Structure 1
Amino acid sequence: MKTIYVIQHLAFEDLGSLEDVFYQLNFRIRYFEAGIDDLTPAMQHDGLTIILGGPIGVYEEEDYPFLKQETELLKQRLIDNKPTIGICLGAQLIAKALGAKVYAGHQKEIGWSTLQLQSLQDNLLEALNNIPVLHWHGDTFDLPTNAKLLASSDLYPHQAFSVGDAVLALQFHLEVSEAHFERWLIGHTSELRQGHFSIPQLRSDNKRYTPQLEEAAHIILMKYLTKLNLI
């Protein structure tokens, strides 16, 4: 049985709807907690490693020293071109590991909106055409050298990029699960209230948009895994 290694920065930000897809494909899933567990086995894993989101910034290494090791291990993983998906903070870590600047954005992007997909012959994210996705970030990044831009939003030009077939970085949350979204609303309540975001509206939009997003996420993940001969 193949294993997916997952690096987690926040307990309730897990694989979400993607977890069911992996189980259906007979993968095992092993989680690592950043800042607590040794991330070396996850970063040196020859199969797929997924780096999830979290509320800290990649540049906050003085307060969160584990980020230095995480970035260094990730640099070597990307050099070795091992299958890697980064979501939100995970995407920012990939950008930094590839030498791009990561920094605070001009405003927080929290809520659902559609992406502007790049007109590419084979855009991995084409299943998201006209489907709102969940954004939940305040930081952004420059596009790394040799990266292929896949998608933008109205607020931020760099929402997704790939490097070859193996590396996929997503600023938005492809993995969000309709059933577990209430965890986000509880866990991020301070951020939501400080930014004057409507919790009832976010809850309503979750019920409205997430079923379509889950279907599209399944298609995208299957396409990614097939390209890399992981299934």
Structure 2
Amino acid sequence: MSLLIVKNITREGPGILEKILKENDIDFHIADLDAGDKVLEPDNYSAVIVCGGPDSANDKTRKMEQELAMIKKAIELEIPYLGICLGMQTLAKSQGAVVRKNDVREIGFRDKDGEYYSVNIEDKWINDPLFKDLGNLVKIFHLHGETVDLSDNIELLATGKYCKNQIIKVGSNAYGIQGHFELTPEMFEVWLDNDPELMELDKTMLLEDFDELAEEYRNNGYTFFSNFLKIAGLL
């Protein structure tokens, strides 16, 4: 059994997570839907991670319909799940929640007040295994214009200043996170040169922010993804 990683767009891959997997000889398979790979059945995997992308969970495409069905099945089978950005929104959508435009687009490392984006873990969930050794407040990178409303079966674990619903949980082992902990320097360069929303911003300033936060960001990424792999029984 191995980990299934689903890419919604080629450039948004596992990054730091992939380094952890290789360092620990954890078997994984990447399905790049942007490159034409098929949406795979979750039954054959120990856990599923769905990455971000420019699609909307509200899209009426065959790709999105199949992705939502796959996620719904994974949750029904209680297969550990982690959704990143769009992967969080598809998790929520698969559970009957509403995905909608957020009042503020969150793009980059800093909000409109010039402060670093961060997530605040709710007191009730501070001891959730996903957050072990992570601390609070946790700085994070954002690249999204949509958010989710919660349905009755979705718990809110962490909040943000301009987009309230930042980290969610369904059941005992399915999580979604609105921001990104997976960025490596190499991946970030690709995003900066190709993502239309990031290309609207000052590249030099974004690189300076990334450099300033590099050690803290990398450590948080390693901790966060390692915690999920432990929840999934893979580490």
Specify if TM > 0.5: yes
Q: Deviations over 1:93-151 (max 9, x none)?
A: 00000110001112210122111211125132361523311011001001232222111
Equivalents in 2 of 1:200, 1:110: separation in Å?
A: 15
In the alignment, what sits opposite 1:7? Answer: 6
**Among residues 168, 171, 178, which one is paired with 2:175 in the alignment?**
168
Change (3 A) 1:45 1:171: farther
Taking the aligned partners of 2:145 and 2:118, their CA distance within structure 1 comes to 18
| 1:226 partner amino acid | K
Matched, 1:216 2:220: yes
Matching residue's letter, 1:40:
L
Corresponding residue for 2:112?
A: none
Contact conserved, 2:107 with 2:197, CA < 8 A, in 1? no
Which residue number in structure 2 is paired with residue 122 of structure 1? 127
In structure 2, C-alpha distance between the alignment counterparts of 1:69 and 1:227, rounded to whole Å: 26
Structure 1 CA distance for aligned equivalents of residues 173 and 186 of structure 2? 30
Partner SS state of residue 13, structure 2:
coil
Partner SS state of residue 223, structure 1: helix
Aligned position for 1:26: 25
Task: Say whether the 8 Å CA contact 1:149–1:162 is kept in structure 2.
Answer: yes
Q: Say which SS state the counterpart of residue 186 (structure 2) adopts.
A: helix
Aligned residues: 224
C-alpha distance in 2, partners of 1:8/1:103?
Answer: 21
Q: Is the 8 A contact 2:167 2:176 kept in 1?
A: yes
Identity of aligned residues (%): 25
> Aligned letter for 1:171?
Q
Q: Deviations over 1:140-196 (max 9, x none)?
A: 0012322221111111110111123321101101211133211110111x3235xx4
Residue 20 of structure 1, CA deviation: 0.8
TM-score normalised by structure 2 residue count: 0.88
SS of 1:159 mapped into structure 2? strand
Q: Tell me, which stretches of 5 or more residues in structure 2 are unaligned?
A: 110-116
Which of 190, 194, 197 is equivalent to 1:187? 194
Take 1:229 and 1:216, find their aligned partners in 2: how far apart are those partners? Answer: 20
Map 1:1-231 to 2 at 5 A: 2-34=1-33, 36-41=36-41, 43-61=42-60, 64-112=61-109, 113-120=117-124, 121-123=126-128, 124-125=130-131, 127-188=134-195, 190-193=196-199, 196-231=200-235
Q: Which residue does the alignment assign to 2:113?
A: none
Q: Secondary structure at the match of 1:154?
A: coil
- Indicate the RMSD between aligned Cα atoms, in angstroms: 1.8
- Where do 5+ consecutive residues of structure 1 fail to align? none
CA distance in 2, matches of 1:95, 1:138: 16
Letter in 1 for 2:15: G
Q: Distance in 2 between matches of 1:57 and 1:96?
A: 10
CA distance in 1, matches of 2:80, 2:162: 29
SS at match of 1:122: coil
- Select the structure with the greater relative contact order (CA < 8 A; seq sep ≥ 6): 2
Residues 165, 24 of structure 1: alpha-carbon distance in 2 compared, 3 angstrom cutoff: farther
